[in-house]
Structure 1
Amino acid sequence: YKKQPLWLIRRYFGEKVALYYAWLGFYTRSLYLPAIVGLLCFIYGLGSMDGPDNIPSKEICDMNLAGNITLCPLCDRACDYRKLGDSCLFSRITYLFDNPATVFFAIFMSFWATSFLELWKRRQAVIVWEWDLQNEDGGEEPRPEFETSVKTFRINPVTREREAYMPALSRAWRYCVTGSLVFFMICVVLGAVLGTIIYRISLVAVVYSGGNALFQRHAKIVTSMTAAMINLIIIMILTRIYQRLAKWMVNMENPRTQTEYEDSFTFKIFFFEFVNFYSSLIYIAFFKGRFYVHPGDADARTSEFF
């Protein structure tokens, strides 16, 4: 470990790059505590696997209790009736990430995130004072790309000088185009999530009709792991596509200053990355499991994909 030479980074690459590395170093050091707490929570899950807190897994794995309960088939033709005890391994794996310690870890992370933001604000204020960046945003010059591409001019009401500007109608048209592209990419992400759900349902039927007893016994684990891998690949592909698309959209909007350019690019990347990375988690947290019906209900077929 070596302390970052922020002053040298500032002299060679400027304040913007140096401030990024200052934040990255502060963030990395702040992760020490949650990493230790998370490791302890995982160790607790391993140690208490057969303890009194893991009541659901004990009952599922006990064929004299809940494990002997017969469940309806997961699909119509290829699937057969199954015992609740067939999910024994899956329930034990789930306990590693869903035990009393993980509840504490979730609460701890909420407090840690708030504390991290407040401490970084203090650290950032110190850096801004040391590097004399208080008035850095004042009087920013227009981007050269903006001045060369814009053909309309006006008299600045403050400086009384001739300057290039983009008419409101032209800006509105550009924002409509970029907004439509962002909405389209969000629909692509939601379609990928729906496709993953359909894939899991279809794979269950394939696994049960394959005849392999090992795969049939652990069909839920197989479908979950493969669906997670496919979801990861889709996220990585869409991230690469959208980064290039976001840069093209910002160039099309043609902001006046470099700060406006970077703010627009950052907002587009953040908004899409939020939907791209967390859409699956939002589905699991708020939608999955809320549309299940009982076998024989009139609307059972309409809720098959949920």
Structure 2
Amino acid sequence: QIRCYFGETIALYFGFLEYFTFALIPMAVIGIPYYVFAWEDYDKYVMFATFNLLWSTVILEVWKRICAIMTYRWGTLLMKRQFEEPRPGFHGVLGINPVTGREEPVYSSIKRQIRIYLVSLPFVCLCLYFSLYVMMIYFDLEQWALDYHEENESKFSSLMLFVPSIIYAVVIEIMNRIYRYAAEFLTSWENHRLESSYQNHLILKVLVFNFLNCFASLFYIAFVLFDMKLLRQSLATLLITSQILNQFAESLLPYWLQKRHKKRMKKRMCFLKTDTDLSLVEQVNLEKEMGTYF
């Protein structure tokens, strides 16, 4: 069974690489002329966006079908759902499972639905409204920066045109991270029995908010304001700022924290060298705080 899962994983991995490469080739071939010639015709951008939307949908649906064919061929189509155990965070009154006959926690589905529709759903809607409100503040800042540039045409005013987008990108990243913690807390509080149900509800919460929070301004600029210059400027600024923030949060910050932790541990080890008589608890705590190794 382990070899079956391992072989299926390897086959899916290489199949995904091959299929993903095939999916990107048409988009790249059609997108290169748009980038090279810098067409300003709005209809051409609509056609390209429509093609990307339809092509991405077709690719995803065909890939789902390939995954279903491969899982059926390997005999693992229903295996995960049949043998899925209750998630570790699931809690409730002990009862008897009518299927397995084993004693396990039981929680009312009515209480779970009440928590979902009366607490989680209003909270998500409130967060979406707050995200739209922040977006409107961003457009007010963009208008202020544009008016300032028209009144005082200088290098400083030209740089000020990018400030609202940079601030908005930072706010987007902060809101996404805060909302992620809130979504995880709410999903755990809903007390889902299976890990798959927990993940589905968490993904739905995060996906809806992240999509609106990250792309609502771009859709508004493209399909309401019809301002391609502002769209390119906002898209470039948001992507570059987001990449810089992610690199800092995923690379520089952990590296700095690790160096700081090692420096603190070296000082502590130098301090403890004079005292070799450590108790077992102190020795365990000291080794626990040391850095991991492989």
TM-score range, shorter chain: 0.5 to 0.7
**Is residue 34 from structure 1 mapped to residue 40 from structure 2 by the alignment?**
no
Choose from 237, 242, 246 the match for 2:183: 246
Equivalent-residue separation in structure 2 for 1:285 and 1:262 (angstroms): 33
Deviation for aligned residue 1:124:
0.9
Q: Write the distance in 2 (CA, Å) between the matches of 1:114 and 1:212.
A: 45
Aligned residue for 2:128?
186
Aligned to 1:135: 78
Aligned with 1:280 (options 202, 206, 217) = 217
Q: 1:256 to 1:285 in 2, by over 3 A?
A: same
2:274 equivalent in structure 1: none
Q: Which amino acid counterpart does residue 85 of structure 2 have in structure 1?
A: E
CA distance in 1, matches of 2:188, 2:130: 22
Q: State the AA in 2 paired with 1:204.
A: L
| Partners of 2:89 and 2:188 within 8 A in 1 | no
Change (3 A) 1:201 1:106: closer
With over 3 angstroms needed to count, the CA separation of the structure-2 counterparts of 1:231 and 1:22, relative to structure 1, is: farther
Cα separation, partners in 2 of 1:288 and 1:101, compared to 1, 3 Å: closer
Q: Which residue of 2 aligns with 1:165?
A: 106
Q: 1:269 to 1:40 in 2, by over 3 A?
A: same
Query: Matches of residues 6-25 of structure 1 in structure 2 within 5 Å?
Result: 11=6, 15=9, 23=16
Deviations 1:128-174 (A, max 9, x none): 1343211222242211221xx32x24444445554422124532453
Answer 1 or 2: which has greater helix percent.
Answer: 2
The whole-number CA distance in structure 2 between the counterparts of 1:44 and 1:9 is: 50
| Post-superposition CA distance 1:51-81 (Å, at most 9, x none) | xxxxxxxxxxxxxxxxxxxxxxxxxxxxxxx
Uncovered stretches (5+) of structure 1, i.e. residues with no partner: 1-6, 47-94, 290-306
- Does the CA-based 8 Å contact 1:45-1:99 persist in structure 2? no
Shift in Å, 1:222: 5.5
How far did residue 113 of structure 1 move? 2.0
Aligned partners of 1:20 and 1:134: how far apart in 2?
17
What one-letter code is carried by the residue in structure 1 that aligns with 2:148?
V
Equivalent residues, number: 223
- Once the two structures are superposed, the pairs formed by residues 148-297 of structure 1 within 5 Å of their partners are 149-150=91-92, 152-159=93-100, 161-168=102-109, 170-175=111-116, 176-209=118-151, 211-213=152-154, 223=161, 225-285=162-222, 287-288=224-225
Preserved CA contact (<8 Å) 1:200 1:227: yes
Q: How far apart, in 2, do the equivalents of 1:9 and 1:132 lie?
A: 9
TM-score of the superposed pair, with normalisation by structure 2: 0.62
Structure 1 residues 187 and 101: alpha-carbon distance in aligned structure 2, compared to 1, 3 A threshold = closer
Over 3 Å counting, the alpha-carbon distance change for 1:28 and 1:141 in structure 2 is: same
For residues 237 and 25 of structure 1, the distance between their equivalents in structure 2, rounded to whole angstroms, comes to 36
TM-score (norm 1): 0.60
How many angstroms apart in 2 are the aligned matches of 1:158 and 1:101?
58
Q: Report the 3-state secondary structure (helix = DSSP H, G, I; strand = E; otherwise coil) of the residue aligned with 2:89.
A: helix
Deviation at 1:116, TM superposition (A): 0.6
For 2:60 and 2:6, locate their aligned partners in 1 and report how far apart those are by CA, in whole Å. Answer: 27
- Residues 94, 105 of structure 2: 8 Å contact kept: yes
- Amino acid in structure 2 at the alignment position of 1:276: N
CA distance in 2, matches of 1:18, 1:285: 40
Flag the 1:204–1:114 CA change in 2: closer, same or farther, 3 A.
closer
| Corresponding letter in the other structure for 1:141 | E
> What secondary structure sits across from 2:82 in the alignment?
coil
Identical pairs, percent: 27
Give 1:263 shift. 0.9
Residue 56 of structure 2: which of 107, 113, 124 is its match? 113
User: In the TM superposition, what is the alpha-carbon distance from 1:186 to its structure 2 partner?
Assistant: 1.2
Q: Which residue identity is paired with 2:74?
A: W
Counterparts in 2 of 1:182 and 1:111: CA distance versus 1, 3 Å = closer
* Shift in CA distance, 119/131, structure 1 to aligned 2, threshold 3 Å: same
Cα contact 1:45–1:101 (8 A) shared by 2: no
